[in-house]
Amino acid sequence: MAKQTTRCPWVGIEDAEYTRYHDEEWGVPKFGDRELFEKLVLEGFQAGLSWLTILRKRQNFRTAFDDFDAKKIAAYGSSDISRLMADAGIVRNRSKIEATISNARAYLELSRRQSLSDFLWGFVDGKPIINKHTEFGDVPAQTDISKRISKALKTEGFRFVGPTTVYAFMQSVGMVNDHLVSCHRHAPCAKLQRALNSKNR
| Catalytic positions, written as ranges | 21, 43, 51
Dihedral pair phi/psi, residue 197, rounded to 5°: -60, -40
Q: Are 30 and 174 in contact (CB under 8 A)?
A: yes
The annotation status of 8 as a binding-site residue, yes or no, is yes
Rounded to a whole number of angstroms, the CA Rg of the chain reads 17
Was 189 annotated as part of a binding site?
no
Q: What residue type is assigned to position 46 of the chain? A: Q
Q: Where are the alpha helices (DSSP H) in 112-176?
A: 116-121, 144-155, 163-172
Cα–Cα separations (whole angstroms), residue 181 to 48, 131, 143: 28, 8, 19
Query: b/e for 60-91, b at 16 or more Cβ within 10 A?
Result: ebeebbeebebeebbebeeebeeebeebeebb
Give the dihedral sign, CA 151/75/114/117: positive
The answer to whether 22 is annotated as binding is yes
The SS3 call for residue 90 is coil
179 marked as part of a ligand binding site: yes
For residue 130, the cross-strand partners are 177
Residue ranges of the annotated binding site for Zn(2+) are 8, 22, 179, 183
Q: Which residues are annotated as a binding site?
A: 8, 22, 179, 183
